[in-house]
A and B are shown apart, each in its own frame.
Chain A
Amino acid sequence: EVQLEESGGDLVQPGGSLRLSCAASGFTFSSSWMYWVRQAPGKGLEWVATIKADGIWKYYVGSVKGRFTISRDNARNSLYLQMNTLRVDDTAVYYCVKDVPGSGWSFDCWGQGTLVTVSS
Chain B
Amino acid sequence: QSALTQPPSASGSPGQSVIISCSGTSSDVGGYDYVSWYQQHPGKAPKLMIYEVNKRPSGVPDRFSGSKSGNTASLTVSGLQAEDEADYYCSSYAGNNVIFGGGTKLTVL
Bound CA span A110–B45, Å: 6
- B52: chain A residues at CB < 8 Å are 103-104, 106
Is A59 in contact with B96, judged by CB distance below 8 angstroms?
Answer: yes
Residues of A within 8 A of B34 (CB): 103-106
Q: Mark A39-76, 1 if CB is under 8 A from B, else 0.
A: 00000111100100000000101000000000000000
A82-117 interface code vs B (CB 8 A; 1 in, 0 out): 000000000000010000100111111011110000
CB pair B48 A47 closer than 8 Å: no
What is the interface of chain A, defined by CB distance below 8 A to chain B? 44-47, 50, 59, 61, 95, 100, 103-108, 110-113
Instruction: In the A-B complex, list the 5 residue pairs whose CB atoms are closest, starting with the nearest.
Output: A104-B34, A106-B51, A104-B93, A110-B45, A106-B36
Q: Which of A47, A100, A106, A107 has the most CB of B within 10 A?
A: A106
Q: B: which residues have CB within 8 A of A?
A: 3, 32-34, 36, 38, 45-48, 51-52, 57, 89, 91, 93, 96-103
> Which chain B positions have C-beta within 8 A of A104?
32-34, 51-52, 93
CB-CB nearest in chain A for B101: A44
- Is there contact, CB below 8 Å, between B45 and A105? no
Which residues from A are CB-within-8-Å of B48?
100, 106-108
Are A112 and B45 touching (Cβ within 8 A)?
A: yes
